[in-house]
Structure 1
Amino acid sequence: MSEFTADNDWLHWCKAPVKPAFKLPDGAVDAHCHVFGPGHQFPFAPERKYTPCDASKEQLFALRDYLGFQRNVVVQATCHGSDNRAMLDVLLHSEGRAKGVATVKPTVTDEELHAMDFAGVRGVRFNFVKRLVDALPFDSLESIAERIKPLGWHIVIYFEAQDLAEYYDFFTALPVTVVVDHMGRPDVTKPVVGGEFDQFIRLLDDNPNFWSKVSCPERLSKAGPHDYEDVIPFARRVVESFPDRVLWGTDWPHPNMKSHMPDDGKLVDFIPHIATTQTLQQKLLVDNPMRLYWPELCK
């Protein structure tokens, strides 16, 4: 029994997803997912903005196999703060089939960074979504970016489209590979060509060290549960413009979802709508995540 009680409006992740009609290519990677707790073993952070239900490594591995993925990239969830033990536990029990993205504080030691590197961490995530953090992590990101550069790690940044102009110069000065979560959360009621989204495209176009995840249509769509058609033009534009720098992931178990809980099988069936050829699907799901997270296997 967890020592924590999930928020009253927390929606539990889908326990019976449909079997996807879309057959994933061999070696496919779910490049953005999480674990929560279990809370009795890996307590949630006191400063968390939400309290989720438990979602264990065993449940993640079962979903991976059911959907047809071969590997996972486990991203540290904000509800665990900078305590990376739950994420590291996944890596250590994955038989080499999972890599990680950590959250760290400026006080992290070089010894701790090297230990995480040995376990399979390949990046550090920084959250710039103002409603989810108490303070924006400009100073810590700058210092950590310099320290992880020798390890070959990358930075993952999470922000919302309306804030990109404010962050643009700071982000583009970072000295490492940068991966943007969920296309920078575009407002899909606005034009796919022009305005805010053109600025995001320019970010990737002018900065070849920038990558983008084209995940989480359930967070971006205004069309209603399990539809997400309004997200397709945005994700397709990114995939077709930058086929060698895009990633996709389920976002299981879907942190802090309040309106509806997506079916992970249906999310997989969304992929061929945004990556419309086998070549694009191979790059999105296999070649790109392997090159970023398992480069030793790509030689």
Structure 2
Amino acid sequence: MPTDSTTAVPAVTPGWLAPHPAPSTPTLELPAGTVDAHCHVFGPGDRFPFAPERKYTPCDAGRDRLESLHEQLGIARRVVVQATCHGADNSAMVDAVRSAAGRARGVATVRPDIGDAELAALHEAGVRGVRFNFVKRLVDAAPTDELARIAARIAPMGWHVVVYFEAADLPDLEDFFATLPVPLVIDHMGRPDVTRDPDGPEFDRFLRFADRNRCWVKVSCSERLSVTGPAALDGERHAYADVVPFARRVVEEFGDRVLWGTDWPHPNLTDHMPDDGLLVDHVAHVAGTADLRRRLLVDNPMALYWPEESA
């Protein structure tokens, strides 16, 4: 739970990069009602302490700064995903969702012993999903039996499960994912290796898994997946070009189940901190028509997170 302002804040993990100090204004005009379907808040640590079991300690990146960034970029709504540094204490995420007065939804981290009253309180606050993290450098081994019990608990509430994993681990996880009795949302296109062929067997396997299980897929985290990095292509605002063929396949094959997010404030990056205005412009290369962009940025996230408004 939040603590008073005298709480000592631990030192930031060495090498941690703070969010971009002055993001550019994008040249792409986003459609009205655009949703950032994947962003986080960190702290502030003096109000929302980080979890003792965390794998990293970030700098503060709270809701006020997130809201300011979204205003600059032209983003109307957001989905705040619980960060691993806060563990199963969802206080910072819930605070960010509540402060948006209906323009935000949340994705929580919960433990199997969570009570019905706490689940109901999260739902009332705007939470609509639970995240299962399988990235080994961020969490200890995920207990699938416990996660299955959580999924069964949230199914009657109409929630979904967000799964975060790396491409190489999908063969070991896909049978478990297929048993979950709730919709699945996949973070960051399943983290493909973008040095490989976007039409090759590894990415094909991912796409067929997503199609077979009617998954939603987030076209996000280009700055994390890219090897070529933020360098402009042909002098244009077209960074992270090596990710485009993968993201374009997802957008074209999952037009009604694809989502987009900034991943602000971009945790665990060590080589560069992306310009969020450039990430918005990147969308034009991933979704090449106004119709595709509207589905990616507005229609799909509204259908998943605000179905009562999109019916």
TM over 0.5: yes
What is the match of residue 217 of structure 1?
222
Contact 1:19–1:265 (CA under 8 A) maintained in structure 2: yes
What is the match of residue 295 of structure 1?
307
Give the superposition deviation at 1:177. 0.5
- Structure 1 residues 217-253: Cα deviation after superposition (integer angstroms, max 9, x where no partner): 0110000235210000000000000100000000000
User: Is the partner of 1:248 in helix, strand or coil?
Assistant: strand
Q: Identity across aligned pairs (percent)?
A: 62
What is the match of residue 108 of structure 1?
114
Report the Cα distance in structure 2 between the residues aligned to 1:29 and 1:137, rounded to whole angstroms: 32
Report the Cα distance in structure 2 between the residues aligned to 1:224 and 1:69, rounded to whole angstroms: 24
Give the superposition deviation at 1:196. 1.0
Normalising to structure 2: TM-score of the pair? 0.94
Give the superposition deviation at 1:264. 0.5
Report the Cα distance in structure 1 between the residues aligned to 2:283 and 2:15, rounded to whole angstroms: 29
What is the match of residue 65 of structure 1?
71
Superposed, 1:161-240 pairs within 5 Å as 161-208=167-214, 210-226=215-231, 227-240=239-252
Report the Cα distance in structure 1 between the residues aligned to 2:230 and 2:113, rounded to whole angstroms: 42
1:251 aligns with 2:258: no
Counterpart pick for 2:104 among 80, 86, 98: 98
Partner AA of 1:235 in structure 2: A
1:76 aligns with 2:88: no
- Structure 1 residues 86-144: Cα deviation after superposition (integer angstroms, max 9, x where no partner): 00001111111110000001111111001000000000001011121112231222001
Report the Cα distance in structure 2 between the residues aligned to 1:4 and 1:129, rounded to whole angstroms: 24
- Structure 1 residues 163-188: Cα deviation after superposition (integer angstroms, max 9, x where no partner): 10111111112111000000000000
Report the Cα distance in structure 1 between the residues aligned to 2:63 and 2:139, rounded to whole angstroms: 26
Give the superposition deviation at 1:37. 0.2
1:55 aligns with 2:57: no
Partner AA of 1:272 in structure 2: A
Contact 1:246–1:284 (CA under 8 A) maintained in structure 2: yes
User: Is the partner of 1:164 in helix, strand or coil?
Assistant: helix
Of the structure 1 ranges 22-31 and 198-207, higher mean CA displacement relative to structure 2 is found in 198-207
1:19 aligns with 2:31: no
What is the match of residue 129 of structure 2?
123
1:133 aligns with 2:171: no
What 5-or-longer segments of structure 2 have no aligned partner? Answer: 232-238
What is the match of residue 88 of structure 1?
94
Partner AA of 2:27 in structure 1: A
What 5-or-longer segments of structure 1 have no aligned partner? Answer: none
Partner AA of 1:30 in structure 2: D
Contact 1:126–1:137 (CA under 8 A) maintained in structure 2: no
Contact 1:17–1:263 (CA under 8 A) maintained in structure 2: yes
- Structure 1 residues 8-40: Cα deviation after superposition (integer angstroms, max 9, x where no partner): 200110120000000000000001000000000
1:286 aligns with 2:298: yes
Contact 1:88–1:119 (CA under 8 A) maintained in structure 2: yes
Instruction: Count residues in correspondence.
Output: 298
What is the match of residue 260 of structure 1?
272
Contact 1:128–1:137 (CA under 8 A) maintained in structure 2: no
Report the Cα distance in structure 2 between the residues aligned to 1:205 and 1:73, rounded to whole angstroms: 23
Normalising to structure 1: TM-score of the pair? 0.98
CA RMSD of aligned residues (A): 1.0
